[in-house]
Amino acid sequence: MTNAQLFEIAISWFRAQQWEPFPFQKRSWEAFLEGRHGLLNAPTGSGKTYALWLPIVLDFMKKNPAYATRHQPGLKAIWITPLRALSLEIRQSAERVTRDLGTQLTVGIRTGDTSPAERAKQKKQMPDLLITTPESLQLLLATKGYPALFRNCSAIIVDEWHELLGTKRGVQMELGLSRLRALSQDLRIWGISATIGNLEQALEVLLGPYTVAMQNSVLIRAKLNKQISVKSIIPPEIETYPWRGHLGLRLLEEVIPIINNSRTTLLFTNTRSQCEIWFQKILEQHPEFAGEIAMHHGSINKETRVWVEQAIRNESLRAVVCTSSLDLGVDFAPVETVIQIGGPKGVARFFQRAGRSGHRPGKESVIYFLPTHAIELVEASALKKAVATQAVEDRMPYLNSYDVLVQYLTTLAVSDGFYPGELYEEVRQTFCFQALSREQWQWILNFLVLGSQSLQSYDEYKKVEVEADGRFKVNHRGIALRHRLQIGTIVSDAHLLVRYQKGGYIGTIEEWFISKLKTGDVFTFAGRNLEFIRIKEMQVHVRNSRKKTSKVPSWMGGRLTLSAQMSQLLREELYSAGMAIGAQSEEIKALKPLFDKQRIESIVPRPHEFLIETFKTTEGYHHLFYPFEGRFVHEAMGSLLGYRISLLAPVTFSLAFNDYGFELLSDKAVDIQQVLDNDLFSPDYMLEDLQKSLNATEMARRKFRDIAVISGMVFTGYPKKGVRMKHLQSNSQLLFDVFKDYEPDNLLYQQAYTETFEHQLEEGRLRRALERIARQEVCWKTCQRPTPFSFPIITDRLREKLSSEKLADRIRRMAEKLMKR
């Protein structure tokens, strides 16, 4: 069959469904059938699955003219999804195509939820089309004889690639793809991504920057021009709307008519705790919604979540309060309206959320923005601009993630073993390891075999062995078993199951929250008030309680930062406060009373101005700086500046920051003139100074936890699977200290610092921010009382302490304070 004939089949199939193919779908079919690789940029719900399932099946028909009668079993295509919850829907789409086109292709799913029996069956006989997750793909690479499985695989599609890019699962995927490319003669690699700022780079990461595949690739943009309408909920009395806060409950009554006027409404919150609180408050004040509203977040158990998702589709719910857990996948046709509570901290996320409404091609998406405090209206205004100009942020891919490489090489050593000479070239083709040097590679190999860089006679390290012919192989069954259990540990805080004492599973919760509770404490979780009884075998036992409580778990993942693009838009919006009324958005206009108050003692900065405010309260001397760069950059800049000031004279600061600025609070005044005269905002020696500023080690310590788990240095144990490895459980904190004392040049230990600077402190952005400040005119305002801008920052109770005093002195002071109590 010619490509033109195949095309006809596809188009008539579309018409039989009463659909008309979009241009991007046709272009994808075309490119795929021409044997090209590529990245398809299309939003959820646009028919992207058919853009790629169809040509896979068409290509099969082309190569097997007797497709209707003859069926040669074996894996032919793989569809990777980052969320296993999406796999059922993807299978339905695939089966529809294979069936309607009269092929005998089978479709199977293999994820963490697949039963052992089903897995065993698949191992004997792979389905033709396999839907799986990045982790399950790695597990396939850990099975003996895996090359045979993939030999005739001609396509691999990575769905929601933007979700994987910029994570270590993405790195895992890059490595897996590099292996599959070598195994299969005729493999087409395609990614599907929502809109992100660096789509070209996303394609490069998927295919490898200098590969043949990259040269023969296309980037297809759906360009659906979906109408998104953003509406701000402007507080009726802006004069009295709080200057700080993060819940936004004051505007709860404004939300009710929106819910009442729409089929189904999704209320997106930024954290799970905020989600819990909003859900409760709506029910408290509007009991008539009982049974008609629900809650959805990542800690709630799967059955409940699935039920909620089903109820949205059935249109049996008026509203759902949710978190990013509903960002992805699944088509929810009845959703008409979306409300974003508080800043979404990212344009891409805002787009995606807006896209949840009017989830049908051609329909307008409506999203309301509800500010949780007055200044957030500036953010609302900036978001509108961002939506209009499609200013979406980048997803920064990881470079040199040694931990993932160690895991991957061990995986290959567990199955069929590998020869380093061949594999080095393969690994170097990936984006992540394009700059991996021979020395670093040798270091990794030594680490795998010796567990160090030098051979000691007394050492008993055992993991990967080098066989006589130079093959790297794991021969020890226990090591292989532990490694398989460890693959794809999605690294996060230790989670505990929450359940009723009498049975009944409620959800999962981070260990650190529970560790703060005492028996008898009551906390809110999954919309219920629960009394903590005990922790037993990784499970939290609770019972229902009638007591009122203020304890709501605030999940770590909750604190997000503004992207670089969003920060810039935010600054521009703020600058517009100084322009003519006509040039202002309605949000900026509405904020006039607040700006007026701000101008009494200070200013609203203009583009060339960098604002610093100082004032004194009973708490001490406040020094506020407003770079408007997002909380991560502010945290880093605050640490840096605090450290540099402390070099002038010993001083202790407490540091507070939000997305707009940061504060250094101390018990004595800092002479800002001296700060400026000494050029303390200079980008010179930035990295060195940052490293010396106090909490770099603490941050690296937190990063190291993931690294230690991924690289297999820490065993997490699998209580649910009945594998007991207690004698091998250690904590990464302890390990970090041992590395610090005895092996500080270890690449994995150093990786913790690199990640801290590149991904946590956003070194690059910090540098650019400092360069920008260097070009601005500093406006230092000494005020009598806190200004509206300063208010959300100085009232933040989560603070970091910076100090140039000696550790021993700090201990003495802390101890003294203890005595005074």
Site of interaction with other proteins (CB under 8 A): 447, 451-452, 454, 456, 458-463, 476, 478-479, 482-483, 654, 712-715, 727-728, 730-731, 734-735, 738-739, 741-743, 746, 798-801, 806-808, 810-815, 817-818
- Which amino acid, residue 215? Q
Residue 452 C-beta: closest distance to other proteins, Å:
5
290 vs 742 by CB, closer to other proteins: 742
Query: Nearest Cα to 550, choosing from 587, 592, 522?
Result: 522
Residue 482 C-beta: closest distance to other proteins, Å:
7
CA diameter of the chain: 88
608 vs 813 by CB, closer to other proteins: 813
Residue 204 C-beta: closest distance to other proteins, Å:
33
Can you say how many angstroms the Cα of residue 501 is from the centroid of all Cα atoms in its chain?
33
Rounded CA Rg of the chain: 28
727 vs 775 by CB, closer to other proteins: 727
Residue 302 neighbours by CB under 8 Å, 6+ apart: none
Query: Nearest Cα to 369, choosing from 278, 258, 286, 281?
Result: 258
**Residue 261 CB burial class (10 angstroms; 0-12, 13-18, ≥19):** exposed
559 vs 806 by CB, closer to other proteins: 806
Residue 116's CB is within 10 A of a number of other CB atoms, namely 7
Residue 51 C-beta: closest distance to other proteins, Å:
44
SS3 85: helix
d(CA 29, CA 7): 8
Residue 77 DSSP symbol: E
Query: Nearest Cα to 352, choosing from 160, 490, 169?
Result: 160
117 vs 815 by CB, closer to other proteins: 815
SS3 315: coil
291 vs 744 by CB, closer to other proteins: 744
11 vs 491 by CB, closer to other proteins: 491
Residue 748 C-beta: closest distance to other proteins, Å:
9
557-593 burial by CB neighbour count: b if 16+ within 10 A, else e? ebebbbbbbbbbbbbebbbbbbeeeeebbebbbbbee
End-to-end, the C-alpha distance of the chain in Å comes to 86
SS3 616: strand
d(CA 90, CA 108): 10
Query: Which residue has tokens 């690059």?
Result: 764
517-552 burial by CB neighbour count: b if 16+ within 10 A, else e? beeebbbbbbbebbbbeeeeeebbbbeebeeeeebb
Query: Nearest Cα to 398, choosing from 164, 153, 732, 98?
Result: 164
Residue 727 C-beta: closest distance to other proteins, Å:
8
451 vs 578 by CB, closer to other proteins: 451
Query: Nearest Cα to 160, choosing from 42, 76, 242, 25?
Result: 42
CB 337 within 8 A of CB 192: no
182 vs 694 by CB, closer to other proteins: 694
502 vs 817 by CB, closer to other proteins: 817
Residue 591 C-beta: closest distance to other proteins, Å:
31
Residue 478 C-beta: closest distance to other proteins, Å:
7
Residue 493 neighbours by CB under 8 Å, 6+ apart: 510, 511, 512, 556
Residue 243 neighbours by CB under 8 Å, 6+ apart: 373, 374, 375, 594, 788, 791, 792
15 vs 806 by CB, closer to other proteins: 806
Residue 381 C-beta: closest distance to other proteins, Å:
33
506 vs 714 by CB, closer to other proteins: 714
Residue 190 C-beta: closest distance to other proteins, Å:
37
Tokens of 769: 């921010």
Residue 665 C-beta: closest distance to other proteins, Å:
9
Residue 299 C-beta: closest distance to other proteins, Å:
24
Residue 793 C-beta: closest distance to other proteins, Å:
14
594 vs 655 by CB, closer to other proteins: 655
Angle formed at CA 83 by CA 292 and CA 342, multiple of 5 degrees: 50
439 vs 741 by CB, closer to other proteins: 741
Residue 728 C-beta: closest distance to other proteins, Å:
5
